[in-house]
């Protein structure tokens, strides 16, 4: 896309100066990477990327992931140069300022060009694997006529050092995601100094060990960059292009030094860079001839996009409806009907099953209604019960399946699910043991921050898992996840609540849901209601006939049964108790004060949960009590553990009796 009068160097230098000047003006940010990768980015965006700056969310655009998110000015410079409407010169001049789209790190939903939020290293490359996988899966469903795009990633040494990148690299190689191209910014510099301080890996060999195509080039040579991209695009494997670059390329005295990584270059260095690169223009000024070449590149995909729209229109009617509905993320009405029928059946059958089993029963009912659902597990399929009879495994040779074997890679699973959700067209859920939610916590946080519908199916949710012991027993996890903004933590008590929580998770398009499910069997405690009671977050499950109560017992999940037993014990000694089921604090806290007060009651409140007591004071106050865990668990049969840790109906009743006596 270079014109007769504009050189590649000028195109790349436009990125360099916009980036360095914005960091300088903000007096904060990371110039080194944008300067180092400007040549690669210029070639990629002016000659290879398929996109249309006028329609940034075109579903079949090539995806671009700046995994090294600290180099955000690279993306913003590109956005401005290519003519994305949200990145104005004013936004560049307000880099890293509150209320502007040009945030410190690229944020999905804030800036049109960001296909994902990056900054936490290793996340981007793993999201990209999810995007490339989603492309394969959708292409297998709807055909290459309407789904056919590449996913490009720029990653630095930091991304490749993070363990999650290995999970991503391994899976991408396994699945042969040949439309994934990773551009490694091989600049030999990390924050502490030379990469060789902390790394001696042969990255080429590492990627080859996972089945990747590899190419090594001079990352400042536009001809080599273009040739490598051409070769990558025709590979039958994912491709890693090792781009040997100089960090801070162009800075006269600091290029090649870690000093350019995370601090402004300084006025003097910038002036020297202007001299060295022959760039006499003021900060944020790009000469018209250079800008016009960039702007032309920004919309060169328009024609292709219009042709794509025609091809979508030409899809068979059924396929078109499914395709469009899937891209819009709508859940079919049939799903709600299936949930309702399931609830009625459970109310009639009153089975005693673990909520992980109940979850599988729900999935058996709803998966056939949702063509875009994609299940999976981190190698615990038959423990998490995340698969249904009709689900089919996704294989390197066949992407028509709807079930993903992630291997023992919880972190990768979470971040790949984020990539799938961000791509659009599919709704991912994935399972592991709840204690290992710690492994994918960085992914869960990104799901929440990016407001993505990703469903974490976390089983074995307390000491109730028994013999596997404290390494496998979640204790602090419910509290620690409830503390996370924009994450809904569900802990259903029985099959009916499980169905309701699944319904809420599927319907919520603006954030992730976390289902905490029991290993052990639980009775059906709910009766059928047309209304989804779990959407209230907490509700009175059982109360004295006259509605008057001395004490309210709050519980979630497996402890709701225990709370009901306490209620009986208390009734026997003349104390009236109500039991409140609290499957989702986040939803309960969103209810009107009057509702919450009515549910919680005026009297003594006691919470019981086989997890950390931490946080329950929000509901029971300083006068109430919490029966729960204050230490790690232990290895033994579940019923013995409940007694050992004092989480019993008797303990709850005893505390109620003692407190009421004390307060009388």
Q: Looking at residues 236 to 265 of the shown chain, list those that interact with a copy of itself (rule: CB under 8 A).
A: 262
Q: Is 468 labeled as ligand-binding?
A: yes
Residues between 30 and 89 with contacts to a copy of itself, criterion CB under 8 A: 69
Q: Is 174 labeled as ligand-binding?
A: no
Q: Is 218 labeled as ligand-binding?
A: no
Smallest distance, a copy of itself to C-beta of residue 208, A: 7
Count the neighbouring beta carbons within 10 Å of the beta carbon of residue 139.
19
User: Is 640 a binder of a copy of itself (CB under 8 A)?
Assistant: yes
| CA dihedral angle for residue 619, residue 624, residue 625, residue 630, rounded to 10 degrees | 60
Q: How would you classify residue 439: left for phi > 0, otherwise alpha for psi between -120 and 50, otherwise beta? A: alpha
User: Is 161 a binder of a copy of itself (CB under 8 A)?
Assistant: yes
User: Is 596 a binder of a copy of itself (CB under 8 A)?
Assistant: no
Distance separating alpha carbons of residues 554 and 494, to the nearest angstrom: 15
| Residue 26 CA from chain centroid, whole number | 29
Q: Is 596 labeled as ligand-binding?
A: no
Q: SS3 of 190, please?
A: strand
- 631-636 contacts, C-beta under 8 A, 24 or more apart: 631/475, 632/470, 632/473, 632/475, 633/463, 633/469, 633/470, 633/473, 633/475, 634/463, 634/469, 634/470, 635/466, 635/467, 635/468, 635/469, 635/470, 636/466, 636/467, 636/469
Smallest distance, a copy of itself to C-beta of residue 350, A: 27
User: Is 481 a binder of a copy of itself (CB under 8 A)?
Assistant: yes
* Among 91-99, 326-334, 340-348, 541-549, the segment contacting a copy of itself (CB under 8 A): 91-99
User: Is 428 a binder of a copy of itself (CB under 8 A)?
Assistant: no
Annotated catalytic residue, options 410, 497, 586, 609: 410
Contact residues for 622 (Cβ-Cβ < 8 A; gap 6+): none
User: Is 336 a binder of a copy of itself (CB under 8 A)?
Assistant: no
Q: Which of 39, 60, 135, 167 binds a copy of itself (CB under 8 A)?
A: 167
User: Is 200 a binder of a copy of itself (CB under 8 A)?
Assistant: yes
Smallest distance, a copy of itself to C-beta of residue 292, A: 31
Pair type for strands 213-218 and 189-190? unpaired
User: Is 401 a binder of a copy of itself (CB under 8 A)?
Assistant: no
Q: Is 379 labeled as ligand-binding?
A: no
| Nearest in space to 450 (alpha carbons), one of 59, 57, 125, 109 | 109
Residues between 439 and 468 with contacts to a copy of itself, criterion CB under 8 A: 439, 441-442, 445-446, 448-449, 466-468
Smallest distance, a copy of itself to C-beta of residue 607, A: 12
* Among 40-48, 147-155, 201-209, 283-291, the segment contacting a copy of itself (CB under 8 A): 201-209
Q: Which of 188, 336, 438, 654 binds a copy of itself (CB under 8 A)?
A: 438
Strand partners, 404: 376
Q: Are 249 and 276 in contact (CB under 8 A)?
A: no
| Nearest in space to 647 (alpha carbons), one of 578, 571, 565 | 565
User: Is 615 a binder of a copy of itself (CB under 8 A)?
Assistant: yes
Q: How many residues bind a copy of itself (CB under 8 A)?
A: 111
Smallest distance, a copy of itself to C-beta of residue 592, A: 17
| Nearest in space to 50 (alpha carbons), one of 307, 375, 243, 346 | 307
Residues between 119 and 138 with contacts to a copy of itself, criterion CB under 8 A: 119-122
* Among 313-321, 334-342, 430-438, 653-661, the segment contacting a copy of itself (CB under 8 A): 430-438
Distance separating alpha carbons of residues 186 and 36, to the nearest angstrom: 9
Q: Is 30 labeled as ligand-binding?
A: yes
485 or 574: CB nearest a copy of itself: 485
User: Is 235 a binder of a copy of itself (CB under 8 A)?
Assistant: no
Residue with tokens 């898992």: 465
Smallest distance, a copy of itself to C-beta of residue 662, A: 14
Q: Is 280 labeled as ligand-binding?
A: no
Smallest distance, a copy of itself to C-beta of residue 580, A: 16
User: Is 206 a binder of a copy of itself (CB under 8 A)?
Assistant: yes
Per DSSP, 452 falls in state -
User: Is 513 a binder of a copy of itself (CB under 8 A)?
Assistant: no
User: Is 192 a binder of a copy of itself (CB under 8 A)?
Assistant: yes
Distance separating alpha carbons of residues 642 and 410, to the nearest angstrom: 28
Q: Which of 3, 199, 344, 529 binds a copy of itself (CB under 8 A)?
A: 199
Distances (CA, A) of 264 to 30, 70, 270, 360: 7, 13, 9, 54
| Nearest in space to 376 (alpha carbons), one of 424, 322, 413, 425 | 413
User: Is 646 a binder of a copy of itself (CB under 8 A)?
Assistant: no
Distance separating alpha carbons of residues 542 and 558, to the nearest angstrom: 16
Residue with tokens 């040549």: 39
Q: Are 203 and 184 in contact (CB under 8 A)?
A: yes
Q: Is 220 labeled as ligand-binding?
A: no
* Among 85-93, 95-103, 131-139, 576-584, the segment contacting a copy of itself (CB under 8 A): 95-103
Identify whether 476 is a catalytic site residue: no
Distance separating alpha carbons of residues 504 and 153, to the nearest angstrom: 33
User: Is 382 a binder of a copy of itself (CB under 8 A)?
Assistant: yes
Smallest distance, a copy of itself to C-beta of residue 201, A: 5
Smallest distance, a copy of itself to C-beta of residue 480, A: 3
Q: Starting at the edge strand that comes first in sequence, how are the strands of the sheet with 551-555 ordered?
A: 539-542, 577-581, 551-555, 604-612, 625-629
Q: Which of 2, 55, 88, 97 binds a copy of itself (CB under 8 A)?
A: 97
Binding site feature residues for thiamine diphosphate: 70, 119-121, 158, 187, 261, 436
Give the catalytic positions in this structure.
Answer: 410
Residues at the binding site for substrate are 30, 261, 356, 383, 460, 468, 472, 519
């Amino acid at each position: 896309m270079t014109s007769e009068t504009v050189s590649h160097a000028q195109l790349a230098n436009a990125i360099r100066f916009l980036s360095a000047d914005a960091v300088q003006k903000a007096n904060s940010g990371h110039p080194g990477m944008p300067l180092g990768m400007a040549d690669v980015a210029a070639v990629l965006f002016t000659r290879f990327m398929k996109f249309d700056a006028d329609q940034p969310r075109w579903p079949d655009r090539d995806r671009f992931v700046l995994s090294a998110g600290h180099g955000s000015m690279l993306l913003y410079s590109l956005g401005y140069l290519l003519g994305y409407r949200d990145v104005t010169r004013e936004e560049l001049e307000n880099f890293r300022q509150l209320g502007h789209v040009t945030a410190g790190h690229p944020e999905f939903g804030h800036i049109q060009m960001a296909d994902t939020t990056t900054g936490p290293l290793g996340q981007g490359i793993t999201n990209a694997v999810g995007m490339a996988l989603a492309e394969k899966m959708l292409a297998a469903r709807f055909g290459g006529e309407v789904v056919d795009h590449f996913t490009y990633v720029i990653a630095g040494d930091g991304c490749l050092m993070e363990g999650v990148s290995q999970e991503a690299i391994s899976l991408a190689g396994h699945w042969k995601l040949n439309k994934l191209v990773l551009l490694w910014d091989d600049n030999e510099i990390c924050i502490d100094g030379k990469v060789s301080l902390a790394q001696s890996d042969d990255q080429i060999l590492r990627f080859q060990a996972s089945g990747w195509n590899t190419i090594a080039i001079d990352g400042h040579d536009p001809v080599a960059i273009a040739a490598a991209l051409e070769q990558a695009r025709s590979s039958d494997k994912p491709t890693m292009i090792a781009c040997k670059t100089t960090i801070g390329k162009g800075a006269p005295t600091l290029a090649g030094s870690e000093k350019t990584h995370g601090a402004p270059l300084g006025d003097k260095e910038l002036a020297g860079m202007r001299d060295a690169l022959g760039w006499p223009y003021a900060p944020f000024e790009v000469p018209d001839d250079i800008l016009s070449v960039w702007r032309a590149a920004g919309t060169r995909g328009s024609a292709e996009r219009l042709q794509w729209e025609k091809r979508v229109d030409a899809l068979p009617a059924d396929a078109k409806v499914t395709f469009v509905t899937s891209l819009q993320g709508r859940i079919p009405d049939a799903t709600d009907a299936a949930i309702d029928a399931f609830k009625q059946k459970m109310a009639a059958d009153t089975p005693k099953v673990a909520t992980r089993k109940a979850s599988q029963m729900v999935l058996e009912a709803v998966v056939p209604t949702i063509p875009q659902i994609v299940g999976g597990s981190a190698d615990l399929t038959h423990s998490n019960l995340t698969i249904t009879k009709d689900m089919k495994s996704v294989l390197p040779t066949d992407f028509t399946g709807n079930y993903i074997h992630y291997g023992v890679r919880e972190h990768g699973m979470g971040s790949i699910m984020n990539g799938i959700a961000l791509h659009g067209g599919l709704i991912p859920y994935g399972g592991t043991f709840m204690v290992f939610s710690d492994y994918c916590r960085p992914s869960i946080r990104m799901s929440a921050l990016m407001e993505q519908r990703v469903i974490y199916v976390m089983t074995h949710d307390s000491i109730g898992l028994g013999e596997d012991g404290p390494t496998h027993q979640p204790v602090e996890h419910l509290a620690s996840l409830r503390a996370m903004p924009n994450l809904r933590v569900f802990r259903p008590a029985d099959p009916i609540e499980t169905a309701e929580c699944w319904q809420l998770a599927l319907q919520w398009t603006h954030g992730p849901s976390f289902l905490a499910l029991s290993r052990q069997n639980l009775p059906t405690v709910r009766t059928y209601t047309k209304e989804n009671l779990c959407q209230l977050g907490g509700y009175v499950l059982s109360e004295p006939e006259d509605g008057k109560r001395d004490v309210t017992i709050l519980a979630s999940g497996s402890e709701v049964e225990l709370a009901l037993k306490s209620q009986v014990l208390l009734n026997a000694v003349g104390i009236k108790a109500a039991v409140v089921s609290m499957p989702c604090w986040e939803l309960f806290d969103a209810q009107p004060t009057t509702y919450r007060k009515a549910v919680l009651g005026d009297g003594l409140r006691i919470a019981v949960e086989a997890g950390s007591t931490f946080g329950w004071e929000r509901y029971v106050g300083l006068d109430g009590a919490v029966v729960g865990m204050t230490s790690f668990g232990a290895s033994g049969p579940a019923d013995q553990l409940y007694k050992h840790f004092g989480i019993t109906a008797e303990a709850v009743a005893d505390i109620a009796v003692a407190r009421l006596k004390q307060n009388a």
